């Protein structure tokens, strides 16, 4: 190997400087570690469902009655009722 640690592969003129490759590899490791640690707490969201007998239950019943078995319209009417009557409570 040469004094400056360059390696020529297959006599094609392709050379690698091992010091630069080491720095590049370490920088990629640090970026990966930083991104992984910064995104660690974003997946801990909890959803609370209100108990039966609340305004949410009334909205659910309204959506079920008005939707006539169609899942989209059940969602639509439940959402509409909840937005108009339950959000400010």
Q: Is residue 69 part of a domain?
A: yes
Looking at every residue in the chain, the average pLDDT score rounds to 76
When divided into structural domains, the chain yields a total of 2
Q: Is 20 helix (H, G, I), strand (E, B) or coil?
A: helix
CA 2 to the chain's CA centroid: 48
Q: Is residue 10 part of a domain?
A: yes
Extract the tokens encoding 26: 């370490």
Q: What is the pLDDT of residue 72?
A: 94
Q: Is residue 29 part of a domain?
A: yes
Residue 20's domain comprises 6-38
Q: With 80 as the cut, is the pLDDT of residue 48 above it? A: no
Q: Is residue 1 part of a domain?
A: no
Q: With 80 as the cut, is the pLDDT of residue 5 above it? A: no
Extract the tokens encoding 20: 């630069």
Contact criterion met (CB below 8 Å) for 65 and 74: no
Angle between helix 71-81 and 55-67 (nearest 10): 140
Q: Is residue 11 part of a domain?
A: yes
Q: Is 5 helix (H, G, I), strand (E, B) or coil?
A: coil
């Amino acid at each position: 190997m040469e004094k400056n640690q360059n390696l020529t592969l297959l006599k094609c003129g392709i050379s690698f400087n091992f010091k630069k490759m080491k720095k590049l590899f370490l920088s990629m490791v640090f970026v990966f570690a930083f991104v992984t640690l910064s995104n660690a707490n974003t997946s801990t969201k909890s959803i609370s469902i209100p108990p039966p007998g609340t305004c949410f239950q009334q909205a659910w019943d309204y959506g079920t009655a008005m939707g006539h078995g169609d899942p989209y319209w059940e969602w639509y009417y439940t959402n509409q009722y909840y937005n108009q009557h339950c959000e400010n409570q």
